[in-house]
Structure 1
Amino acid sequence: MKPENTALVLIEFQNDFTTPGGTLHDAVKSVMEQSDTVDHAVAAADAVRKAGGSVLHVPISFAPGYGEITSHPYGILAGVVSSTSFVRGGWGAEICEELTPVDGDIVIEGKRGLDAFGSTNLDFVLRSKGIETVVLAGFLTNCCVESTMRSAYEKGFEVITLTDAVGATSPEEHANAITYDYPMFSKPMTTEEFTSALTSEDALADSSRGY
């Protein structure tokens, strides 16, 4: 893991999740408070920028009426539609104030489903920039973050998941994904462990060998 070849991918840090008044905020509030999700994501983003890495934001949004997806959604997308979440142009779909993109950040457009690679140019951007290590944070721990983690792993990237910079709709789902799924497809780390590794040559060497 070299900072210049490392990208932090921030998934759906949008008002509907992160901010009081957001349509889904109450659903993730307890895990966010337990993990200090947003604060840890901010710390990770600051560290990556300072080290010379890349910060990518991957919001999800839909046109009013959700015409981009089936008229009979089920599963997680049914919940998005029924709660009228992430409507393009609305406050709820905006990236939260704490993680407002800064100069040099990249905003990936086109996310309509769970996997951040699925309907976007994320893979193209990462490979164009020579990214080898993908670091994931965001929502939901066991949904979009996990889906993106699995794809990144299969695409050959080194994948790190920040266990205290993700959030889910229940502590049980959150803990289950981190305990049982994340180690299969990534190198789970706390934000402190990651930022320490990013600034320590010895730690970086150990991390690249999987220690």
Structure 2
Amino acid sequence: MAVHQHTDGRVARGQRTRDAIVEAHTALLREGVLKPTAKVIAERAGISVRTLWLNYKDTETLLGATTAYWLDADAALRTEISPDLPLDQRLEQYLDMRVRRLEHLDPAARSAALGEPFSRALQDSRRQHVDRVRDDLAHVFGPELAAAGERRGVLEAALFVASSWPTWSSLRHDLGLEVDAARAVMRESVARLLLHGPGPGTT
């Protein structure tokens, strides 16, 4: 029994250490340290660099744990929106949810953009985020997409671009817009697409 308790305690301590490392990594990203070194992460977690690498065998393993944290946190911010509601209500609810998630995701996305070409974990995380946005759009704006007929694919792609993180990043960082102003631009783009479609001559 004592041996079992000792093993359980060691496993629990190991999990607490791994959690502390991921929390330190995510905190640094939120503070704008987009490429923190192992030394900086370890110092923030209150451990040695050796302990960090004993718990995560390499950078890719650490990135996998950190992206899993961001994906879980993003999922917790998702709200269910009924496609049966009037379009104006669905639009406002979608924008509220999307802005919430984009603001939360922004630090991690900015960091991931630096390392994504070289990291399978970051590439997989991006694909999951893309799939989530596409699924949300298909669900929330299903009636409008169905009505688009053969132009559905273009409308889907246009809606995705209008509410994607790169677009949000341009509004917030390139143009320096505050959240409300950036949301207003996104609303204008999404509303025009839903009401008038992606324009003539597209298929």
**TM-score bin (small chain):** under 0.3
TM-score by length of 2: 0.26
- Name which one, 1 or 2, has greater alpha-carbon Rg: 2
Higher normalized contact order (CA 8 Å, seq sep 6+, divided by chain length):
1
TM-score by length of 1: 0.25
Richer in helix (by share) = 2
